[in-house]
Amino acid sequence: MIYLDNAATTRPMKSAIQDAEGALNELYFNPSASYAGGIQTHGEIGRAREEILSLVGGTENFGLIFTSCGTEADNQAMFGSVKRGNLVVSGGEHAAVYECAKELKNRGLEVRIAPLNRDGSVDRDALLRLVDEKTALVSVIHVNNETGAVNPVGRIAEQVKEKNARALFMSDGVQAFGKIPFRLTKHIDFYTLSAHKIGAPKGIGALIVKKGVKAEAYLYGGGQESGKRSGTENVFGILAFASAAKRKFSTLKEDGERILSYRERLFEKLDKDLFVRLSPENGTPYILTVSAKGLRGETLVRMLSDRGVYAGKGSACSSKKPFSRVIEACGVERELLDGVLRFSFSPENSEAEIDEAAEIVNRTAKELYGRIR
């Protein structure tokens, strides 16, 4: 099996799981307990929090709330901070942000959608024109999870604050964290993470919040996470998250260079009579999105799976839709919307796998094309 759907989820790192095993075997205490075991467990959570923040330069000016996933982190940022005014979001937002915006609209807020460029990046000039004195929050995804386009969120946040210093700025960093170089800036108020995208288990994410910024609790109960996210902490998940993140950042540059070569090698070997590239060359190394002209991406994904290649047809969270809202917002021609294929990579992939996958993809697409002619 050649796994090329790492933007959907990744295989957990054995080393991260081993590092966190103590949370199951020895540090099984409730972190809220006042005896020694509970205090020690609580301390390990604090250490993990600081380690993750340090990787993006956030230890001094930011806090971190552990959540169950990136979706919960996005929800808390939006519902915990926006009460009135208007909300500006890019048309490329993940469903976890986009659906929150729709719900906030149902609750009476004005929602403004900034258009996308062809590659999936936000049209910055158009976005800034939507920001005014009543804008409460602006959300721009860091790495478009469907095309791999990278938005310069640090600079965009600065430009937003120049127009309205009171507006909050958030970015979904799920496809960026641990994959591309990045440091938090003073203009970013919220930044969200998901552990299972970087080799940690599912069930753990995080919301990074600039100190002094209001982020109301999303879950109420025992007051864990400094009262911002009640519920007994997922100690195993938290420690595995910190371990995986530390390892990802330790090899971030060399992994990025190698995976970029895989991305370009795969595209070079794809049949250009059948496939059109949708991903930008200057996007994340980890995502290559193409469209199979005249074919159905869903059918192709299933056929590839039968032949040992696992790829996606876009965001896994949008897999039940006929075609991608985000790809359509890029202005992609209708005849290409149905044939979208997303290949996403990890450091576990090899050059030999890329070559074999390219051969299987070409052969399968030609076979399917022959059936419909």
Q: Which residues are marked as active site?
A: 317
CA 221 to chain centre: 28
State how far the alpha carbon of 201 is from the alpha carbons of 83, 229, 255, in Å: 33, 20, 20
Q: Are strands 2-3 and 62-67 parallel, antiparallel or unpaired?
A: unpaired
- Cα 70 from Cα 9, distance rounded (Å): 12
**Long-range CB contacts (within 8 A, 24+) of 124-132:** 124/156, 124/159, 127/88, 127/90, 127/156, 128/159, 128/160, 128/163, 130/88, 131/88, 131/160, 131/163, 131/164, 131/167, 132/86, 132/163, 132/164
Q: Are 31 and 233 in contact (CB under 8 A)?
A: yes
* Residue that is written with structure tokens 């299933």 in the block: 302
Buried (b) or exposed (e) across 123-160, using 16+ Cβ within 10 A?
Answer: ebebbbebbeeebbbbbbbbbbbbbbbbbebbebbebb
298 exposure class (CB count in 10 Å sphere: 0-12, 13-18, 19+): middle
First to last CA, the chain: 30
Q: Are strands 168-172 and 190-194 parallel, antiparallel or unpaired?
A: parallel
Lookup: tokens for 149: 């386009």
Kindly report the number of other CB atoms within 10 A of residue 90's CB atom.
29
Q: Are strands 287-292 and 275-277 parallel, antiparallel or unpaired?
A: antiparallel
From its phi and psi, is residue 128 left (phi > 0), alpha (psi between -120 and 50) or beta? alpha
* CA atoms in the 13 A half-sphere facing the CB of 351: 7
Of 190, 115, 176, give the one whose Cα is nearest residue 148.
176
Of 5, 19, 10, 6, give the one whose Cα is nearest residue 239.
19
